[in-house]
Amino acid sequence: MRNLRSTPLGSFPRGRRLRALLLGFGLLALVPSGCSDDTGAPAAPVAEDFVAQASDFECLKDWERVRNIRLTNKLGRLEEALSLARDPRPGQQYPAGTIIQLFPGEAMVKRAPGYDPANNDWEYFELATSARGTEILKRGRDDIVNMFGGQCFGCHEAARDFDFICENDHGCVELPVTGAQIAVLQGGDPRCSP
């Protein structure tokens, strides 16, 4: 590695001079990641990931409702997620940070591109809910089973064209509950204030 104190700034390649100068002043951390590389081409933006914590799963009645699903987006992209939920069309994908729940004890969270490409980057959750909050029991893909005994990924995979979101006409196995029963289960979410 070069000793910056003894290397003339002009000896650095053109695209690295500013970085060398900033590094010399300890300011490299202040350079935004979208700067251009040595070729002058803008660097590709890095997709923001969202790693859900138990505290991210809240009272379902506080989240937006579209048909039977409840959803939010923890990265500030709720309007984009709502638009997709209201008008689902093949080929569209939810933004990272989207959390979708049908029942209080289950969830799916959209992660950044590349997290799990075979699953359109969704992570599934098995949750324990109480008046004290949420506990994550399991998270991942293949080991997560819904309240009816079915593997989440195995069912949602049928809705691949609709970003793995199951609805009545997206190819998934129909759940043995009605929309009214789903509403009752959501209304009984123990995390909600009485």
- For 51-93, how does the pLDDT look when each residue is reduced to its tens digit (9 = 90+)? 999 999 999 999 999 999 999 999 999 999 999 999 999 999 9
Q: How far apart are CA 70 and CA 114, in angstroms?
A: 25
Distance, in Å, from the CA atom of 52 to the CA atom of 108, rounded to the nearest integer, reads 10
Of residues 24 and 179, the one with the higher pLDDT is 179
pLDDT band, very low/low/confident/very high, at 180 (cuts 50, 70, 90): very high
* Residues 91-97, mean pLDDT to the nearest whole number: 96
Domain ranges, ordered by start, for the chain: 1-46, 54-187
Report the alpha-carbon distance of residue 113 to residue 122 in Å, rounded.
Answer: 9
pLDDT of residue 173: 85
As a dihedral over the C-alpha atoms of residue 74, residue 79, residue 84, residue 85, rounded to 10 degrees, the angle is 70
In our burial notation (b when 16+ CB lie closer than 10 A, e otherwise), range 56-66 reads: bbbbbeebeeb
Q: pTM of the predicted model, to two decimals?
A: 0.75
Comparison of pLDDT for 169 and 70, the residue scoring more: 70
